[in-house]
Amino acid sequence: MQKITLELDNKLFGMLNELKNQYDEETSKTVTHDELLKELIVAHYYMEVKKE
pLDDT score of 52: 64
Name the residue range of residue 37's domain: 10-48
With respect to residue 3, please indicate whether it lies within any of the assigned structural domains. no
* Residue 47 CB partners (closer than 8 Å, separation 6+): none
- The number of domains in the chain is 1
* Residue 36 CB partners (closer than 8 Å, separation 6+): 16, 19, 20, 23
pLDDT single digits (tens) 1-52: 899 999 999 999 999 999 999 999 999 999 999 999 999 999 999 999 987 6
With respect to residue 21, please indicate whether it lies within any of the assigned structural domains. yes
